[in-house]
Chains A and B, each alone.
Chain A
Amino acid sequence: MSASLLTLDGVSKSFGAVAALRDVRLELAGGQVHGLVGENGAGKSTLVKILAGVHAPDAGTVTLDGQPLRLSGPAEARAAGIAVIYQEPTLFPDLSVAENIFMGRQPLRGLRRIDTAKMRTDAGELFARLGVHLDPDRPARGLSIADQQLVEIAKAISLDARVLVMDEPTAALSGVEVERLFAVTRALRDAGAAVLFISHRFDEVFALCQRITVMRDGRWVSTDPVDALTVDVVVRRMVGREVSAMYPKQDTTVGAPRLQVRGLSRDGAFADVGFTVHSGEIVALAGLVGAGRSEVCRAIFGIDRYDAGEVLVDGVRLSNGDTAAAIKAGVALVPEDRRQQGLVMELSVQRNATLPRRWELARGGLLLGASERRAAAAWAQRLQVKAGRLTDAVSTLSGGNQQKVVLAKWLATKPRVLIVDEPTRGIDVGTKAEVHRLLSQLAAEGVAVLMVSSELPEVLGMADRVLVMHEGRLTADIPRQRATEESVMHAATGQADA
């Protein structure tokens, strides 16, 4: 075993009332790829931001080469030899690809001027090493997510980093691109770098890593050599309880078609998507990030307009691009990004929970507070939202309680079609099971549920039927009995030969 290069000990970090990390430890050794797994909300991304120098830990120590490391900013982390590839690419859209790679470190010539020609060739060489063809001179605006990710990787490689942190770098990559990334990662490892690899795909983690650390609810759970672990063990440690208890799927009788989507297309996002969700049915929409799942949901709900096709609820056609009409027809959407799309963080719990119903709650056209208060209180109680007061800003709640407010907001509209996009992302395990029970119960009451999820256990545990999207098209429609990790992943990566 090689000596530890980077060590975290007793690291804690809180945001307001929410403790994101509690007493976390981690040891990264040179010449090793270290896997970090955990559910969404387990604190992985916060850990990454601490390593990147974006956040300073509230408590605990970080040591590099045995020297205590105090990072006061991302530039310092870079100078210390730590490179980070974020989950979401962070590029400057107006600048060229080459500039994005070398920003702040551009090669210089006399008088400290930027050597543009060298920068361009250097970028070209990096892309050659990665085996991709990208024009270093083109602006980052308009790059696909996979290409943006490649620019991020090129950026990290160009640093000759001793510590490389990769936060779900493969989420948007195709099989070939993943293989190429792995080859580069192994080369960096063999050159002595310490790599921290975060992924939801166990096959990748087991293929690439020598050791695996599991995190849950902001805490460190275990670190073991990969040979001592199996996927089952890791999943159990991540979840913290038996998986079956997490997915209380009730068997329901499937009724009449509720939501019908026919030939839906939107230029650049998805094409010719058609499916039906029946009353009482939970249908999962699976696929890789960027496959167009959220886009389809947005189009159904009227957030974006579609170019062709139609959406029917109980046989009645919805007008294109009209969210208010969709709500009136009984469609509800619990969006993927709670903070950006689901909630108005500065507004009170009460205002948030009643926002979609503000017209029907008005008496004589006026909202004087009482009706909103009553409506919000009823749902907060039913979903057991833990909030100080309903007039507190929703930003003061924990992630799980925020998600409950989003659910309350939409369940209060008595939806007939409920679309949930990543309904359990970033919430704690207990709330997760509650959300699953709720979805199950709603389906039993006759609601048609369409669920987008990137977590395979959730998809397999909850869905009556799994629809799979790949690059904007539906590639599979798998009934519950035949749905397995393999069959879904196959279709999601476009390897289905049907």
Chain B
Amino acid sequence: MVKGLRSWDAIVLLALVVVAIVGALTIDGVASPRFWRFVTLEAIPIALIALPMTLVIITGEIDLSVASVLGLTCTVMGQLWVSGVTSLPALIAICLLLGAALGAVNGLFITGFGLPSLAVTIGTLALYRGLAYVVLGDRAVSDYPQTWTTAAIKPIPGTTIPWVILVVAALAVVFAVVLHAMPIGRGLYAMGNNPEAARFAGVNVRLTKFWLFVASGAMSALAGVFWTLRFASARADNGTGIELAVVAAVLLGGVSIFGGRGALLGVLAAVALLGVLRNGLQLAYVPANTLTVITGLLLIASVVGPNVVGMLRRTLERNRI
């Protein structure tokens, strides 16, 4: 089983390399540093949210409210700036706390009242996005100091890659260690496969899940802060629909939607793969609509594929006997 996972990670990584090379050879501009700068800028918020989402889905739950948390954070940040909060650290701290609180609401409904995460986060998807509109209406706040907005997308010296990717990398290491090399991670896989057996082994399923939703909210808020500064714009519709991109990346990265299976490496490779694919095809003048279709198809393929392969394998085995 473990070996199977690793091979899936390898397939996604390989696909990433192949797509990048083929793109660089056939599409004008993919080889340019500018291209990779855009891919990275686009991938940063997705990756930030995909980190906790991976853990959430491994425990057998899902958080569909992430894009709305992002949007609400953006508007609150904008409104605070307009009302005179001018310290960036303070803004970031407030936004992270807000995200954590929104995640805690999800967690409370799911673990406290025992409601299905799908239904709860569809509800908060609507609720948080609605609150974003309540905060800013259809206004946009975009008069941030230029020092902030340039700082957000400043490249690492000597490259074109934005420095924020280092923050993402550091967080990725933290999440990877928690998931793959800490006792908590062992519990996450156990509860994703069989929550009852996990409880019988002394894993506190409820509490763990609660904190995962808090983490998911906080990371979505962090993505919201980045989003606001990158586009120098806080609007209520910021990031609408990116939960699809995140869930697609996590599932394509080899995490089972039923929980209990998957690894962070595959997910990060999948985030990059989708980013390269999307931007590369854009350069090749494939319309954005086609990209929507492709993302949807990839999402379906990532769950249908393994199942069909499994069924075929079982059929073959049965015939052999």
Interface residues of A (CB under 8 A from B): 58, 301, 303, 323-324, 326-327, 333, 335, 340-348, 351, 354-356, 358-359, 361-362, 365-368, 391-393, 409
Contact = CB atoms under 8 A, between A and B. Distances in A.
Interface in B277-299: none
A351 B189 contact: yes
Contacts of B261: 346
B111 to A, nearest CB: 14
Contacts of A359: 183
A289 to B, nearest CB: 19
B280 to A, nearest CB: 36
Given A303-B200, A347-B260, A362-B183, 19 more contacts: A301-B200, A303-B199, A323-B199, A323-B200, A324-B202, A333-B200, A335-B200, A340-B194, A342-B200, A343-B194, A344-B197, A344-B260, A346-B193, A351-B189, A351-B190, A356-B201, A358-B186, A366-B177, A392-B1
A393 B183 contact: no
A340 B195 CA distance: 9
A324 B208 CA distance: 13
A250 to B, nearest CB: 28
Interface in B185-222: 185-187, 189-190, 193-194, 196-204
B182 A341 contact: no
Contacts of A343: 194, 197
B309 interface: no
B2 interface: yes
B202 A356 contact: yes
29 contacts: A301-B200, A303-B199, A303-B200, A323-B199, A326-B202, A341-B200, A342-B197, A343-B194, A344-B190, A346-B1, A346-B194, A346-B260, A346-B261, A347-B189, A347-B190, A347-B260, A348-B2, A354-B186, A355-B187, A355-B201, A355-B203, A356-B202, A358-B187, A362-B182, A365-B182, A366-B181, A366-B182, A367-B183, A392-B1
B196 to A, nearest CB: 5
A346 B198 CA distance: 12
Nearest to A351: B186
Nearest to A355: B201
B182 A58 contact: no
Of B189, B197, B201, B260, most A-chain CB atoms within 10 Å: B201
Given A333-B200, A391-B2, A358 B183 contact: yes
Nearest to A410: B201
A367 B197 contact: no
A351 B3 CA distance: 14
A343 B199 CA distance: 11
A340 B201 CA distance: 12
Nearest to A337: B196
Given A366-B181, A391-B2, A323 B193 contact: no
Contacts of A323: 199-200, 202, 204
Contact of B196 (A340, A354, A358, A409): A340
A114 to B, nearest CB: 30
B285 to A, nearest CB: 45
A391 B199 CA distance: 22
A355 B321 contact: no
Contacts of A409: 201
Contacts of A340: 194, 196-197
A418 to B, nearest CB: 14
A68 to B, nearest CB: 21
A342 B204 CA distance: 16
B185 to A, nearest CB: 8
A367 B186 contact: yes
Contact of A368 (B1, B181, B202, B204): B181
A109 B182 CA distance: 63
Secondary structure of the B side of the interface? Answer: helix
Contact of A344 (B177, B193, B202, B321): B193
Listed from nearest, the 8 A-B pairs whose CB atoms lie closest are: A358-B183, A355-B201, A327-B202, A324-B202, A344-B193, A346-B193, A358-B186, A323-B202
A361 B190 CA distance: 17
Interface string B144-187: 00000000000000000000000000000000010001110111
Given A344-B197, A346-B1, A346-B261, A58 B183 contact: no
Contacts of B3: 391
Contacts of B203: 355
Given A344-B194, A345-B194, A355-B186, A367 B1 contact: no
B197 A341 contact: yes
B264 to A, nearest CB: 15
A58 B194 contact: no
Contacts of A324: 202, 204
Contacts of A333: 200
A335 B203 CA distance: 15
B239 to A, nearest CB: 34
A346 B256 CA distance: 12
Contacts of B196: 340-341
Contacts of B200: 301, 303, 323, 333, 335, 341-342
A58 B317 CA distance: 13
Nearest to A391: B2
Contacts of A58: 321
A327 B193 CA distance: 21
Contact of B1 (A327, A348, A362, A365): A348
Contacts of B183: 358-359, 361-362, 365, 367
Contacts of A344: 189-190, 193-194, 197-198, 260
A358 to B, nearest CB: 4
Nearest to A333: B200
Contacts of B186: 351, 354-355, 358, 367
Given A355-B186, A356-B202, A393 B1 contact: yes
Contacts of A351: 186, 189-190
Nearest to B207: A324
A304 to B, nearest CB: 10
A195 B82 CA distance: 81
A483 B1 CA distance: 48
B304 to A, nearest CB: 20
A344 B187 CA distance: 11
Nearest to A396: B1
A324 B197 CA distance: 13
Nearest to A324: B202
Contacts of A391: 2-3
B190 to A, nearest CB: 5
A361 B193 CA distance: 22
A365 B204 CA distance: 18
Nearest to B261: A346
A315 to B, nearest CB: 22
B193 A347 contact: yes
Contacts of A356: 201-202
A42 to B, nearest CB: 23
